[in-house]
Amino acid sequence: MPSGITALLVVVLAALFLTYRRIVARWASPRARTVATVGLSAAGLLTVATAVGLLAGAGVLPPGPVRWISAAGLTWLAVVFYLLIALLILGIAWIGVRVAVRLRPGSADAGRRLLRTLAAAGLVVAVTTTTYGLFEAASPRITRTDIPLAAMPSDPGALRIALLTDLHVGPVRTRAFTQRVVDATNAQEPDIVILGGDLIDGTVDRIGDYLAPLKDLRSPFVFAVTGNHEYYADDARNWVQRWREVGVRPLLNESVRIWRDGARGGSSIRIVGVNDRKGTPPLAPDYDAAFAGIAPEEFTIAVAHEPKQAAEFARRGADLQLAGHTHGGQLWPFRYLVQLDQPTISGLEEVDGMPVYTSRGAGAWGPPVRVAAPPEIAIVNITSR
């Protein structure tokens, strides 16, 4: 379980306890004390449920028996995030009220009413935004992007790639979710399917069956690279083997040449896959090994989980990178924090002169919630310019 979120959960539990001891327990009205105590107790239980969901995602707990607990707790994590934003706004307003009362002592009652109104509005907005985000995250949408590239062989025509990243099946999403993504992808009839990492949260022993529908992908070429979450449960090598069992070819710091027959003979492209930059031996990233034997004039599509890896690809002459990892921020306004870490957030951008397409991903990590960052199954059409 990430240490930052662990600290957040401890802070939330401490804040709930102090709220009860310092505020609720001193209220004169028994009815008000009872209602507030029930609400604080429910919030405490949901905070504990969040930890259950994170432990299930780390492979510590079997996800099946605790799925609804995980879903409730991880959804609560999104509510807490928006409550923290509301608390920040409330804190700024409280400072403003204090200043106003000093300047105009008679404004104290109006200030208290304003703070109560803001607190109630913050709670309503947090719950409403999270509820909207639950529906937003439930159904990945098909997105289509045309990428004209001068180096792309013109014969036999456009190349349609389905980029599937960040499914995060495990504590909340199950095999049924994978099947929905596979069915939607097959309907697009892609030439190549690329799985861009973070497909799971958990271990092969507990959720290996959740990826079984990948064997139904009807594309002639299905490749995969590791993401950081394949390593979190210390089970990356078993996941790579599981991919092979369901008909997916891992690209582990290596490339594959794909021949395409056209009217004037054959042309080829290279697909290069590099392990996630957080990978550890024997699945650590190795860019030189991945590009070994590739001629400078070959049209090359590089695949790695993080767009931050783009600089290494651009340095070695790749024509395009396909990536995931960012989730488009997942919960607004997180995208502005992600921009501090990654060179691209979503869609088609450029890094060091090389185009990079970054998928928002089909699933969601942690809260099964997305706000202003809808999930996607990205269909990338690469044409000759």
Cβ atoms within 10 Å, residue 166 = 27
CA gap 353, 152 in Å, rounded: 16
Q: Please tell me the predicted confidence (pLDDT) of residue 114.
A: 84
pTM: 0.92
- Show which of 85, 107, 137 is a domain's final residue: 137
CA gap 48, 42 in Å, rounded: 10
For residue range 227-273, list pLDDT tens digits in order: 999 998 889 999 999 999 999 999 999 999 987 765 445 678 999 99
In sequence order, what are the residues at sequence separation of 6 or more whose Cβ sits closer than 8 angstroms to the Cβ of residue 4? none
The alpha carbon of residue 290 and the mean position of all alpha carbons in its chain are separated, in whole angstroms, by: 26
Residues 235, 331 share a domain: yes
353, pLDDT greater than 50: yes
5, pLDDT greater than 90: no
Residues 155, 68 share a domain: no
103, pLDDT greater than 70: yes
For strands 354-358 and 300-303, give the pairing.
unpaired
Q: Please tell me the predicted confidence (pLDDT) of residue 263.
A: 45
Q: Please tell me the predicted confidence (pLDDT) of residue 2.
A: 66
We report the CATH number of the domain holding residue 355 as 3.60.21.10
CA gap 180, 171 in Å, rounded: 17
Residues 132, 158 share a domain: no
For residue range 149-206, list pLDDT tens digits in order: 988 887 777 899 999 999 999 999 999 999 999 999 999 999 999 999 999 999 999 9
CA gap 123, 133 in Å, rounded: 15
Provide the domain limits for residue 160.
141-384
When divided into structural domains, the chain yields a total of: 2
How many CA within 13 A on the CB side of residue 315? 7
Residues 197, 346 share a domain: yes
